[in-house]
Amino acid sequence: MFGLRLNVKKAEYLTTDLNESGFIKINGTGLARTSTFKCMGSLIASNGSVVVDVNSRMSVAWSIWRSFTGVLCDKKIPERLKSKIYRTVVRPVAMYGAECWPATKEVETRLSVIETKMVRWMAGVTRLDCIRNEAIRQKFGVAPIADKMCEARLRCTESGKMATWHQESGPCHEAGQTLKKEEKKKKKKKKKKKKKSKNKKIR
């Protein structure tokens, strides 16, 4: 009637109530219940845990890393190019959806462990060489992934605050114009104060 077609054999449902014993039936056939669901590239677990999504991000990041090992682990390739490939291709895959993850040490340590492994392999360094991770990071110009996660969360919260502010005060372009006007007024006031202070000194 509404143009929606459902494949009952492939359809599954997820519920957050782990103790629920009910089931869903469509035209006499029951739908399979699942514990995880993939939405927009992120895995959602029925128990609300983020570990499943973090593990999937790590596995995807490793698969991307393996596809670029011919470049990233080549000693002839300059370090600057290796760093750029890692920062633009590999790290964003590992951090996808990090804005929605809780800021726990478990998540940060897991991602930092895989990052240090990747960066050390890029440098061709092992534990036996006794070179610190910080020195290798400085060599490639790669910031810790935990810091990048914090930056992503801050960007998300700031954009959310701006969005709510725009909703309260009208359209975005009007809000931007009012902000510009206020900034211009402040600049004019500062200039006037400076002129007055100069005139007083001359007198």
Instruction: Domain of residue 70: give its range.
Output: 48-158
Domain assignment present for residue 90? The answer is yes
Q: pLDDT grade, residue 63 (50/70/90)?
A: very high
DSSP-based three-state secondary structure for 182 = helix
Domain assignment present for residue 40? The answer is no
Q: pLDDT grade, residue 62 (50/70/90)?
A: very high
What pLDDT is stored for residue 108 in this prediction?
Answer: 86
* pLDDT at 57 exceeding the cut of 80: yes
Containing H/E element for 89?
Answer: none
In degrees and rounded to multiples of 5, residue 33 shows phi and psi of -95, 135
What pLDDT is stored for residue 167 in this prediction?
Answer: 42
Domain assignment present for residue 34? The answer is no
Domain assignment present for residue 170? The answer is no
Domain assignment present for residue 182? The answer is no
* pLDDT at 165 exceeding the cut of 50: no
Kindly state the DSSP code that residue 99 receives in the 8-state scheme.
Answer: G
* pLDDT at 1 exceeding the cut of 70: no
Domain assignment present for residue 143? The answer is yes
Domain assignment present for residue 1? The answer is no
Domain count, the chain: 1
DSSP-based three-state secondary structure for 39 = strand
Q: Calculate the average pLDDT of the chain.
A: 77
What pLDDT is stored for residue 197 in this prediction?
Answer: 63
Closest to 146 (Cα-Cα) out of 185, 190, 112: 112
Domain assignment present for residue 175? The answer is no
